[in-house]
Amino acid sequence: MDRIDLIRQEINQVLDAIPSPEVSRVASLHIYGVSQLCTLLASRRGLPVELAVIAGLLHDIYRYTAMTGKEHAHKGAGMAKKIMEDLGCFTPEEIEAVAGAIYYHSDKETRHLPLDEVLKDADVLQRVLYDPSYIMSGKEKRRMQRINEELGLRL
Ligand SMILES: [Fe+2]
């Protein structure tokens, strides 16, 4: 089993445990949508695709475990770190890169490391692709504008 599959097993357990089928379905679409967009953006930007996918899969793990968005990025970073350490197949640098991206992913206004930015962009883009009439916040709009320019979209 490859490393992405190991992480999928972890997040699938969380998604399957969500009591509401409707919430579970939307959560799954979001998680898998973000992870696929992480592949697209990381590949386009010459960044490590596997780590980007893993960050996408784990980025909302606290949100869907605790069912709250409050501090989910910071708490989720800790959860992701523990999962990756326990699996024993990631280097400390890889764990830091993924945990860092998750830690900062709610801060859509600031620019962080390139992998962090892939996750933030994927997070915003998934919402807009899921529902093009989604009302974006000001910071999401500014980010989406840059994504549109980069990918030649008009969303
Ligand atoms: Fe998200």
Quick: pLDDT tens for 117-151.
999 999 999 999 999 999 999 999 999 999 999 99
> Residue 110 C-alpha to ligand 1 middle, in angstroms?
17
> Residue 58 C-alpha to ligand 1 middle, in angstroms?
9
Domain locations in the chain?
A: 3-151
Residue pair 38/105 in contact by the 8 Å Cβ criterion: no
SS3 for 42-58 is HHHHCCCHHHHHHHHHH
> Residue 147 C-alpha to ligand 1 middle, in angstroms?
16
Given this model, what pLDDT does residue 125 score? 98
Quick: pLDDT tens for 14-34.
999 999 999 999 999 999 999
pTM (predicted TM-score): 0.97
> Residue 31 C-alpha to ligand 1 middle, in angstroms?
7
Given this model, what pLDDT does residue 69 score? 94
Assess whether pLDDT exceeds 80 at residue 89.
Answer: yes
Quick: pLDDT tens for 31-77.
999 999 999 999 999 999 999 999 999 999 999 999 999 999 999 99
Q: Which residues contact 94 (CB under 8 A, 6 or more apart)?
A: 51, 84
Residue % of the chain over a pLDDT of 90: 99
Q: Which of 143, 56, 149, 42 is nearest to 98 (CA)?
A: 56
> Residue 150 C-alpha to ligand 1 middle, in angstroms?
21
Assess whether pLDDT exceeds 80 at residue 13.
Answer: yes
Residue pair 42/91 in contact by the 8 Å Cβ criterion: no
How many other C-beta atoms lie within 10 A of the C-beta of residue 69?
11
The CATH code for residues 3-151 is 1.10.3210.10
Assess whether pLDDT exceeds 80 at residue 1.
Answer: no
> Residue 134 C-alpha to ligand 1 middle, in angstroms?
14
Residue with tokens 């692709």: 129
What is the average pLDDT score of the chain?
97
Given this model, what pLDDT does residue 113 score? 98
- d(CA 141, CA 49) in angstroms, rounded, equals 25
Quick: pLDDT tens for 93-105.
999 999 999 999 9
Residue pair 47/118 in contact by the 8 Å Cβ criterion: yes
